[in-house]
Amino acid sequence: MKKYTYTEKKDTRSGFGAGLSELGKINPNVVALCADLTGSLKMDAFAKEHPERFFQVGIAEANMIGIAAGLTIGGKIPFTGTFANFSTGRVYDQIRQSVAYSGKNVKICASHAGLTLGEDGATHQILEDIGLMKMLPGMVVINPCDYNQTKAATIAIAIHEGPVYLRFGRPAVPNFTPADQKFEIGKAWLINEGSDVSIFATGHLVWKAIEAGEQLAAQGINAEIINIHTIKPLDNAAIIASAKKTGCVVTAEEHQMNGGLGDSIAQLLSRELPTPLEMVAVHDSFGESGTPDQLMTKYGLDAVNIVEAAKKVMSKKTITAQ
Amino acid sequence: MASIAELEKICTQVRRDIVRMVHAVNSGHPGGSLDCTEYLVALYFEVMKHYPEKFSMDGIDEDLFFLSNGHISPVFYSVLARSGYFPVKELTTFRKLNSRLQGHPTTHEGLPGVRVASGSLGQGLSVAIGAAIAKKLNKDNNIIYSLHGDGELQEGQIWEAAMYAAAKKVDNIISAIDLNGQQIDGPTEHVLSLGNLKAKWEAFGWDVLSMNGNLLPEVIETLHRAKTHTGKGKPVIIIMKTEMGHGVDFMMGSHKWHGVAPNDEQLAQALKQNAETLGDY
């Protein structure tokens, strides 16, 4: 197992804030909009550095999406910021008609996604956003794993022409992606080469997949770990090649099983290479109040759950082989 | 500058286009289309600075128009075609398979003159405000126009946008409300009363003008006057009183013609009331 270390834990939303601030300096067409969550989204730096390009819209997310769509007419590249729940479910029709169907170059940037929002509870813990966004034709869906990757992704999506959903979170998590790693939309990152089982993880679950890989290695199981930061477009070639090599697959994400990364990979493999598959995800349930760690444990999104899923799916592989 | 007589001629041709388009596919929305004819003809043939032959999405250095109540696409398409955005002949494809003239306007098939999709109501004012802000950022002194149905004002997003534009002094926009008093289920007064619209928009901080939207000279005069109200720290809105179905007597004043096409006999009657002036498509 390749060794991954980190010097500090940082929140992915701060990676977004840092990336946006850097974009502000290098791209005069980048503008930002926020619906009364500037501090939570870490958009303060951009707002301070470029007040003429920062738009505080108040608690009016539908209007924010519409204004963002309009700003593209005239060449601006709008980045909208609010919580993931208010970035997607609340404004689905606005995104569908004014952004996606209209082909507008809007970057929908969403923090506090998933259970790790914590104590605020299920009203704010959206676990359906990846599914909502990936169903929209032409929408790119990205869920980076740590501070450095979120910063790099933020900078990269400004160059991509078309709507993007960028999903990140609240808690401080290990920051292990090399700071100079280039972010390529739709290109999976091979974290560890292995031969026994493929673990495809996204977002906060990538570090947990690394921890799981270490635990599996200690038990003599050689896991291949791949960071799928881009859920759409999916890196089909990387997924099929790995599944072909290992013969069994675990997917891991902080999202509903319905509509998430596992769902996309299951679809792909069912069509191209039917492979035993287990999903580490939330099973058709809302979240609740609690600390992020407590919630990840209660809802089965820890390293130990990935380890169990890997062993289970490997046993299916044996049966299939016989 | 076109004369009133010339613009009146365009109006009757546009009305012919509208009823012929919806008749041909037995679907579409003639009522609101007919009553917004003077407004759109005045905008596209007299008031707006625009370049139909070299349409660009960004629309730098020209006035832009956004149709928020997208169901009145027949009048929008007719005026776009008649002012040179695309061949008039293309009106025959309205609502048909593989057409750029979708039931509701969209950028998706690349129809020149359309800058955002509309149909799901209440979204166009926000988009127009965004485009107005982009103009300010680009130091482009041209104006954004937008049109909204009166029933559409029942959508909450309209009021989010109204609050924003006034608070942030988006003063390079002239919006208009098609106050025909009708919506699908009946008169707006019965479905969900809009109350005192002038007082509402003023309370939201807009500069409110009004006009009879079916009197062409008044429409032209009001639109020119509205321009002099821009750049003064307030967004501008025109409450435009109209009669649904205006120009076709049996369609006038009833919600029944919101989204129903005329039959052959009704078409003939409607065409008799609107002279062919520029040649039918």
Domains of chain B: 4-272 (3.40.50.970)
Residue span of the structural domain in which A33 resides: 9-174
Same domain, A40 and A152: yes
CATH number at residue A307: 3.40.50.920
Domain assignment of residue A151, yes or no? yes
Instruction: Give the rounded distance of the alpha carbon of B278 from its chain centre.
Output: 21
Which of A115, A144, A174 terminates a domain? The answer is A174
> Taking CB atoms and an 8 Å cutoff, what residues of chain A touch B123?
62, 66, 93-94, 97-98
Same domain, A144 and A195: no
> Taking CB atoms and an 8 Å cutoff, what residues of chain B touch A93?
120, 123
Whether the pLDDT of residue A266 is over 50: the answer is yes
Nearest-by-CA chain B residue for A55: B168
How many angstroms away from the CA of A198 is the closest CA of chain B? 39
Residue B108 to residue A103, Cβ atoms within 8 A: yes
Residue A98 to residue B123, Cβ atoms within 8 A: yes
Residues 6+ apart with CB under 8 A from A14: A42, A147
Tokens 């270390």: give the residue: A5
A97, A99, A106, A136: best to mutate for the B interface, most B CBs within 10 A: A97
Q: Say which of A55, A71, A101 has its CB closest to residue B117.
A: A101
Same domain, A27 and A80: yes
Same domain, A284 and A312: yes
**Among residues of chain A, what percentage have pLDDT more than 90?**
98
CA atoms within 13 A on the CB side of A162: 13
How many angstroms away from the CA of B136 is the closest CA of chain A? 10
Domain assignment of residue A4, yes or no? no
Candidates A24, A74, A84, A83; CA nearest to A49 is A24
Please give the structure tokens belonging to residue B260.
């129903």
Domain assignment of residue A181, yes or no? no
Q: Chain B contact for A127, CB < 8 A?
A: no
Candidates B254, B261, B267; CA nearest to B95 is B261
Whether the pLDDT of residue A53 is over 70: the answer is yes
> Taking CB atoms and an 8 Å cutoff, what residues of chain A touch B140?
74
Q: What is the mean pLDDT of residues A132-145?
A: 98
CATH number at residue A93: 3.40.50.970
Same domain, A162 and A259: no
Whether the pLDDT of residue A321 is over 50: the answer is no
Q: What is the mean pLDDT of residues B221-241?
A: 98
Same domain, A17 and A95: yes
B109, B126, B135: best to mutate for the A interface, most A CBs within 10 A: B126
Whether the pLDDT of residue B207 is over 90: the answer is yes
Spatial separation of the C-alpha atoms in residues B32 and B179, rounded to whole Å: 10
How many angstroms away from the CA of B198 is the closest CA of chain A? 22
Rg (CA), chain A: 19
pLDDT tens-place string over residues A243-264: 999 999 999 999 999 999 999 9
Per-residue DSSP letter, A181: P
ipTM comes to 0.97
Number of domains present in the structure of chain A: 2
How many angstroms away from the CA of B127 is the closest CA of chain A? 4
Same domain, A15 and A125: yes
Whether the pLDDT of residue A19 is over 80: the answer is yes
Spatial separation of the C-alpha atoms in residues A71 and B137, rounded to whole Å: 9
pLDDT tens-place string over residues A192-227: 999 999 999 999 999 999 999 999 999 999 999 999
Which of A125, A144, A174 terminates a domain? The answer is A174
Same domain, A25 and A144: yes
How many angstroms away from the CA of B7 is the closest CA of chain A? 29
Res. B254 pLDDT band, cuts 50 70 90: confident
> Taking CB atoms and an 8 Å cutoff, what residues of chain A touch B164?
57-58, 60, 63, 67
Whether the pLDDT of residue A175 is over 50: the answer is yes
Using CA atoms, how far residue A8 sits from A176, A227, B33, in Å, is 8, 20, 62
Residue A97 to residue B118, Cβ atoms within 8 A: yes
Candidates A39, A34, A33; CA nearest to A13 is A39
Res. A322 pLDDT band, cuts 50 70 90: very low
Catalytic site positions of A: 61
Res. A318 pLDDT band, cuts 50 70 90: low
Domain assignment of residue A273, yes or no? yes
CB B134 within 8 A of CB A70: yes
Cross-strand pairs, A164:
A107, A140
Same domain, A111 and A221: no
Spatial separation of the C-alpha atoms in residues B18 and B257, rounded to whole Å: 13
Same domain, A130 and A220: no
pLDDT tens-place string over residues B10-51: 999 999 999 999 999 999 999 999 999 999 999 999 999 999
Tokens 């635990």: give the residue: A215
Residue B59 to residue A73, Cβ atoms within 8 A: yes
Same domain, A166 and A248: no
The answer to whether the pTM exceeds 0.95 is yes
Residue A67 to residue B133, Cβ atoms within 8 A: yes
Which of A140, A174, A208 terminates a domain? The answer is A174
Tokens 């250095």: give the residue: B61
pLDDT tens-place string over residues B88-113: 999 999 999 999 999 999 999 999 99
Domain assignment of residue A226, yes or no? yes
pLDDT of residue A244: 97
Residue B216, number of CB atoms within 10 A of its CB: 21
pLDDT of residue A223: 98
Q: How many CB pairs (< 8 A) connect A and B?
A: 118
Candidates A301, A47, A74, A185; CA nearest to B116 is A74
Q: What is the mean pLDDT of residues A82-91?
A: 98
Same domain, A212 and A297: yes
Residue A281, number of CB atoms within 10 A of its CB: 25
Mean pLDDT rounded to a whole number for chain B: 97
